[in-house]
Amino acid sequence: MPVFNRFLLWPLLLTGHFLCMCLLSWHLLAQLNFGYPLGYQLLSIDKHIQHYGPENRYKNDFAQTTPEEHAQLFQQIVAAIQDGGKGLADISYRLPDGSFTPLMRTPEVIHLQDVANLVEVFYRAGIIGGLLWLALTTYAYCQRQAFPSLKKILIGFASALAAISAVVFIIGPKNVFYWLHVKIFPDEHEWFFFYEDSLMTTLMKAPDLFGFISVLLIALIIVCWAITVWVMARAFRG
């Protein structure tokens, strides 16, 4: 299989590896609540909730909740999204009288269910990428294929990352964020919510929090990618 080994083996292997690292990084961040406590402080989400909570058109008592409750609510959302959307409609917060009321209205629950469905697709892609990576790594090792130059791999990875970053910043992160929502989610499903209409959006200070999470995710992907590429290079040269 000289043609496969020369032109397809390493591109396919490294693509599968990258998908797997993306999934691994996402999963690790999910266990850490996507850094919400840190983002909460850096983005002053507590002040944001105090400002927009009373202005909500449907409920005006969310500002009375505590930072601990905010972290718990976000953690429940993360857990539900990671579990296929189960329990989204049941996420509630405590009122001053001790009773509980749902955090989200139906359109918000539907949107987060769409997000959960997308995460399931992402997990499948990451798992397939991981299996492809392991299978091709085993094949390459048994065939005694020479591992590509680390310099070439780093240049290729850095170039791709720089190109994507340049496009995002030229277009605008917020414009890219909105464009992806338009293209990915069903047309009949609402995905844009004003702070005055959505406690979910207020809790997350969207899209600011998503920008913060994106930075964490990209940083973790780079770390996981670099470590595993280095390990592969050592293994093939050993």
Q: What is the token pair recorded at 45? A: 């989400």
Per the CB < 8 A criterion, the answer to whether 109 and 73 are in contact is no
CA distance 189 to 185: 7
In total, the chain counts a number of residues equal to 238
- What ranges do the domains of the chain cover? 2-62+119-237
Q: Could you tell me the sign of the dihedral formed by the alpha carbons of 190, 194, 195, 196, in that order?
A: negative
Residue 170: C-alpha distances to residues 175, 176, 195, 217 (Å): 10, 10, 27, 21
Per-10-residue mean pLDDT of the chain, 238 residues long, equals 87 97 98 98 98 95 96 98 98 95 98 98 98 97 94 92 91 89 94 97 96 96 97 90
> Cα–Cα–Cα angle for 12, 13, 15, nearest 5°?
65
- pLDDT for 237 equals 87
Which tens digit of pLDDT belongs to each residue from 171-203?
988 899 889 999 999 999 999 999 999 999 999
Are 181 and 191 contacting, i.e. CB atoms less than 8 angstroms apart? yes
**What pLDDT, in 10s, does the model give residues 128-150?**
999 999 999 999 999 999 999 99
Please report the pLDDT score of residue 238 as a whole number.
67
Q: How far apart are CA 204 and CA 27, in angstroms?
A: 19
Report the alpha-carbon distance of residue 200 to residue 102 in Å, rounded. Answer: 11
